[in-house]
Amino acid sequence: MKPVIVIGAGGHAAVIADALQAAGVNVLGFTDADPAKHQSKQCDLPVLGSDATVLAGSDRNDVLLANGVGGVKGTDVRRALQQRLQEEGWRFATVIHPTAIVSRHARIGNGAQLLAGSIVQALAAIGEGAIVNTAAVVEHDADVGDYVHVAPRALLCGAVTVGNYSHIGAGAVVRQGIRLGERTLVGAGAVVVKDFDGGGELVGMPARSSAEGIA
C-alpha cells in the first residue's frame, strides 16, 4: 500500500494510524486544524499541518488518505470529509488491523476501517467509509451501509441490515434479520429486536425509540 496521511489527529486518528502501522503500512503523519498541534507528535508520528497545507504539498498519485474522524453519535462529519476529498480526487485507504478476522467472502467498501479484534463473517457487506470498531462483530449476510459506525463490541447478528450513516452503539446487540433504516442511532448496550425505519434513536433492552436521533 502507498504511504498514508491520516486526516485528523484525535483519538480515532491515533487508532487508525496504529492499525495501519500494525499492518505494515508507512504512515506519514496526521493533519489537524489547530495550529497549536502542528509539529507536535502523536504515537511517534508528526502532526504535519492543516488539511489544506498538507494536501497542497502532497501528490494524489503518491499517497492515500485515511479518515481519522470518529464519532460517538453522528457520522456526518466523517462522511462529509471523506466525500469532499474523494471528489477532489484523493483516495482513501481501507484499514484492516491484522487481528481483525475478515472472511474472504465478505465485501469491504472503499475506505472502510476494520479495527482490532473485529470480526466480519462470510457474505457480510461493509459499506464505503464504514467503521467496524474494536471487537465488534458483523455476522454472516449482514449488510452495513456507507459511513455506518459499528462501535466497540457491538454485535450485528446474521442478515441484519443497517442503513447508511447509522451509528450502532458500543456493546449493542441487533437480533438476526433486523432491518434498520438510514440514520438510525442505536444507544450503547441496546438490544434491538424490531425493525426500525431510521432517522431516530433506539435505546434500552428491548430497544425502544427515543428522542430525535442522529444528526
Ligand X SMILES: CC(C)(COP(=O)(O)OP(=O)(O)OC[C@H]1O[C@@H](n2cnc3c(N)ncnc32)[C@H](O)[C@@H]1OP(=O)(O)O)[C@@H](O)C(=O)NCCC(=O)NCCS
Residues assigned a catalytic role: 140
Of the pair 64, 142, the CB lying nearest ligand X is at 142
Residue with cell 450513516: 165
Q: Cβ of residue 15: shortest distance to ligand X, in angstroms? A: 9
Q: Of 93 and 214, which CB lies nearer to ligand X in the complex structure?
A: 214
Interacting residues toward ligand X by CB under 6 A:
72-73, 133, 151-152, 169-170, 185, 187-190, 201, 203-204
Cα–Cα dist 129/36, whole Å:
29
Residue nearest to ligand X (CB): 187
What minimum distance in Å lies between the beta carbon of 21 and ligand X? 20
Q: Which is nearer to ligand X, 7 or 203 (CB)?
A: 203
Which residues are within 8 A (CB) of 209 and not within 5 positions of it... i.e. 6 or more apart?
Answer: 196, 200, 201, 202
* Those residues with Cβ within 8 angstroms of residue 185's Cβ, 6 or more apart along the chain or in another chain: 73, 74, 166, 167, 169, 200, 201, 202, 213, 214
- In the complex, least distance from residue 115 CB atom to ligand X, rounded to whole angstroms: 10
Please state the φ and ψ torsions of residue 2, each to the nearest 5 degrees.
-65, 160
